[in-house]
Amino acid sequence: DVKVTQSSRYLVKRTGEKVFLECVQDMDHENMFWYRQDPGLGLRLIYFSYDVKMKEKGDIPEGYSVSREKKERFSLILESASTNQTSMYLCASGSSGTGYQPQHFGDGTRLSIL
Amino acid sequence: GDSVTQMEGPVTLSEEAFLTINCTYTATGYPSLFWYVQYPGEGLQLLLKATKADDKGSNKGFEATYRKETTSFHLEKGSVQVSDSAVYFCALSERGGSEKLVFGKGTKLTVNP
């Protein structure tokens, strides 16, 4: 089975801190994604990556950056955390070029910024 | 841009009731359509998918048919169980399921015994 592992289930940080959320997948997928999930807003795409060292902005990239130095790992970085970044963060991965394959999700990191 | 609109709920049903969660979409091309489910405390799991018009996706007793003429992909189940309590998300992808997904806002389903 495909496994997408997010490094923390729960995280509490302070305003202004630099925060790293890590995601690792074990299926050699080319594509990786970071979403944010908020009540009433559903899932919104922050950043995605189609290849190592490649990144593209999603719908809400402001205040975030990403890093993909290895194929299996995709990191989300909050450069200077703010309270409005308190949310559930979901990582996903998927293969490309195979046609209509689903994305596979991690269990999420619930991040609180105090 | 592409968008997905689904019943926001919450939806509360008794066990063995019939379930429908409506989903309609707007897309410029010919998207693939998906239903994902999120059980409490977990990430999203693919429930079913359909990749072209008139396709029917099915899994675990759930079904949805890709209706191009009405741009809809409604989720149905004939007899729900308590274990079906979860949040259900409709989603589309313009370039197959591995590319970017556009999600609806989710529908929370609670099934009472």
Residue A15: what pLDDT? 97
pLDDT digits (tens, 9 = 90+) for A48-75: 998 898 899 999 999 999 999 999 999 9
Question: pLDDT: is A102 or B111 the higher one?
Answer: B111
Q: Tell me: pLDDT of A101 over 50.
A: yes
Chain A residues near residue B8 by CB distance under 8 angstroms: 40
pLDDT digits (tens, 9 = 90+) for A11-35: 999 999 999 999 999 989 999 999 9
Q: Tell me: pLDDT of B97 over 70.
A: no
Q: Tell me: pLDDT of B12 over 90.
A: yes
Q: Return the residue in B44, B47, B59 with the most chain A beta carbons within 10 A, the one to mutate for interface testing.
A: B44
Q: Tell me: pLDDT of B27 over 80.
A: yes
Residue A8 tokens, joined: 């923390």
The CA distance from A24 to A32, in Å, is: 9
Q: Output the CA torsion B93→B97→B102→B104 (10° steps).
A: 110
Mean of all residue pLDDT scores within chain A: 92
Asked if A42 lies within 8 A of B89 by C-beta distance, the reply is yes
Say whether residue A10 is in contact with chain B using an 8 A CB cutoff.
no
Q: What is the mean pLDDT of residues B77-93?
A: 95
The CA distance from A106 to A111, in Å, is: 15
* Chain B residues interacting with chain A (CB cutoff of 8 angstroms): 8, 32, 34, 36, 41-46, 49, 51, 89, 96-101, 103-106
Question: pLDDT: is B31 or A60 the higher one?
Answer: A60
Q: Of all residues in chain A, what percent carry a pLDDT higher than 90?
A: 77
Residue A45: what pLDDT? 93
With beta carbons less than 8 A apart as the criterion, state whether A72 and A85 touch: no
The CA distance from A94 to A78, in Å, is: 24
With beta carbons less than 8 A apart as the criterion, state whether A90 and A105 touch: yes
Q: What are phi and psi of B21, to 5 degrees?
A: -120, 120
Confidence of residue A38 (pLDDT cuts 50, 70, 90): very high
pLDDT digits (tens, 9 = 90+) for B98-107: 478 889 999 9
Number of A to B CB contacts under 8 A, please give it: 68
Asked if B101 lies within 8 A of A45 by C-beta distance, the reply is yes
Q: List the 53-72 stretch of A: residues with Cβ below 8 A of B.
A: 58
Confidence of residue A97 (pLDDT cuts 50, 70, 90): low
